[in-house]
Structure formats: structure tokens, C-alpha cells
Structure 1
Amino acid sequence: MKDILSEVQITPIKARDGLVGFASFVYNDSFYFGSIGIYTRPQGGYRLTYPTRKGPSGNFNIFHPINRNIAEKIEKVIISKFENVTKMYARHSSFNTK
């Protein structure tokens, strides 16, 4: 089965502790993933974080990629879209994520 990521949505925010936005997408027209954090990397670029919840024995992941191939594909699609969206903001307003 081919991995299809669609309906990628980006919400840029004012940078805070490295967090610069949130992302969501639909996987294979059947599952919605949201609340994915977009953070700046200290050495440049971006990284993604996936939602967690606090439980009695600590934090646990709500969802996350389980293999490197799909993790890299998700990262590539989301970061590309994030960069396009933030370029649009930079051209059309005073909003700045950095």
C-alpha cells in the first residue's frame, strides 16, 4: 500500500521555546492526525513532536510513526508545507515565526 498524506494543514504561531507551529494531516484518506508540534532545531531546520498525555506512570504517546520511512515522509511533507506557509506570511504581513 502506498502512503498518502493529504489535507496537510499548518498553523504557525509566535515562536515560544522553539515551538513555531502545529500541523495536522489525513493518512490514506482514513485517519486524521493532529496537534503535531513543529519546533526549530538548534543546528537549523525543524523537527516534529507528537502528542503525549500524562498517566500515573509518566507520559505516554498518543500516536507516533513506528518506522523511519514513514517518519521521514511525514517530516518532509509537513516541513515543506510549513516553509511555504511561513514564506507567505513573511511576504504579506508582519507576522514572523522566528
Structure 2
Amino acid sequence: MIGPVTNQDLPDTILDVLTLYNGNWDNKAQVEKGLTEHELFQIRIIPVDIVALRPAATVFIEGAHETNIRMLLVGVVSQNTDGTVSMTRLNFTDITKY
């Protein structure tokens, strides 16, 4: 049986990405100022442990425009041979169910 993914299982570059790019992000301050060129956009990025994808690092991403969810996906974060980090998107194809 494969256990949970732990920090020692992941390269430092992936840990850096997971640390820097998680949480809730929005442009609410600009929208509340009444600036007409801004529409509300919100994004949530949450590191998750998905048993079926272990030992890969995974994140759940939800994006909304004007409070309507437009994007739901799981991202598999990996390090390439040249040291760069990339993410493979696993999209939810029918987000009306969620």
C-alpha cells in the first residue's frame, strides 16, 4: 500500500510551487473601488492528496468569473528534466454537477 505523499518524496522546486501558489486569490479590491474595467475573478488553489495519483503532487483549482464557476480541475505538478515545473490539467468535463 502506498502511503500519503510526504515532503521528502517531492523535489524542492515542486515544494516551492505548492507553497507559493496556494490559497484564495481575487481582484475584489479593484471591483469594490468601482473601476469599470474590472470584473470579479476569483481563484482557489488547494494542494490535495489523491490516492490514485500518488506519488504525484496534486492541486485542486477552482476559478470563478462574476461568481460563476468557470473552471474546475485537478493539476498534477511535475518537474521536467531541465528543472522547470509544469502542470498537467485533469479537467472536470461537466462542472454543472458540482
Provide the TM-score with structure 1 as the length reference.
Answer: 0.36
Structure showing greater radius of gyration is 2
